[in-house]
Amino acid sequence: MGSFIARRSLQSLVALAGLIVLVFFAARLTGSPADLYLPIDASVEARQAFNEKHGFNDPLTEQFGRFLVDLARFDLGHSIRKDRPALEVVLEAIPTTLALAAVTMTLAVAGAILVGSLAARRPGGAVDRLGSTLSLAAASAPDFWVAISAILLFAVALGWLPTSGMGTFWHWIMPVGVLLIRPFGILVQVVRGSMLGALSAPYVKTARAKGIRERTVVFVHALRNGLLPVITVAGDQAAGIVNGAVIVETIFGWPGIGKLMIDSIIQRDFAVIQASILVTAAIIFAMNIVIDLAYGLLDPRVRHA
């Protein structure tokens, strides 16, 4: 187990190193921050003073070297826009994104297990056909289109829900609803396929022969083994929500890491761009390792391998 964690951590560090290089140089392709933070008629001297203050006058290689030295001390730079440490700004936004992802995945997994198990119980039945149709539609629906349609329907036309923010329970409904559609659709298909195999296994036939209630057979005996493939897919979907909440957070004004990332790109706040992407990547890498460990703990065959 220790060697596995060390190997996966090393792989994640290599990927993170490549991301560091890419993010640093790609962020600077957005243009000079002086064009945004200084008046249009600012003098050349004022621009030079601004760039000198923030270290933008130095060659890119020198800036990158200084960034690596600071990164080794866990210093991700200073936000131009907020005049605060970039890491501090990012760590304030991360909990709201993680909370959104946690609520979304909890509802998606619970709903998918229920619908997928009922669909697998009677293949070809009404629940199976309806669940398969809805899940395929949900898995194919683009997040941005669903989000805009939800705003037009529930906020503009009906006036039931607020369009942005996270202050009340009602603010959570549309962001969570939009984000859970895709993972719910994918997980229903995974649960259904896994449960079809589990329900045809000999131990399930034995349990039925003993007269055990069908509900217990499906949701206790078969579901225990049928959930193993679901764990990996659910973990991938959870990581995808953390990584892909950019669009939904921006549309709904959700004050999370996704919206912060977009705002920072627009405002050319290089330090926050770098910090937000690196922290998000580190969280996703850690989630993937935890998922692999959980799968190994639940399935002795994987742990042995």
Return contacts of 127-131, CB within 8 angstroms, 24+ apart: 128/192, 131/188, 131/192
In Å, what is the CA distance from 256 to each residue of 90, 128, 147? 9, 37, 16
pLDDT digits (tens, 9 = 90+) for 110-148: 898 888 888 887 777 888 888 888 888 888 888 888 889
pLDDT digits (tens, 9 = 90+) for 12-68: 788 888 888 888 888 888 778 888 888 887 788 888 888 888 888 888 888 888 888
pLDDT of the residue at 7? 76
pLDDT digits (tens, 9 = 90+) for 250-293: 888 888 888 888 888 888 888 898 898 888 888 888 887 777 77
Structural domains in the chain plus CATH codes: 2-72 (no CATH), 93-304 (1.10.3720.10)
Is pLDDT of 244 > 60? yes
pLDDT band of residue 304 (cuts 50, 70, 90) is: very low
Is pLDDT of 305 > 60? no
pLDDT of the residue at 119? 84
**278: Cβ–Cβ under 8 A, 6 or more apart, which residues?**
16, 19, 20, 23, 76
Task: Report the amino acid identity of residue 29.
Answer: L
Q: What CA–CA distance (Å, rounded) separates 137 from 26? A: 35
Is pLDDT of 191 > 80? yes
pLDDT digits (tens, 9 = 90+) for 150-167: 999 998 988 898 988 887
Is pLDDT of 302 > 60? no
Across the chain, mean pLDDT equals: 82
Residues across the chain: 305
Q: What angle do CA 159, 151, 90 make, to 5 degrees?
A: 120
Instruction: Report the percentage of the chain scoring pLDDT > 70.
Output: 94
Is pLDDT of 301 > 60? no
| Residue 95: strand, helix, or coil | helix
- Cα Rg of the chain (Å, integer): 24
Q: Are 172 and 104 in contact (CB under 8 A)?
A: no
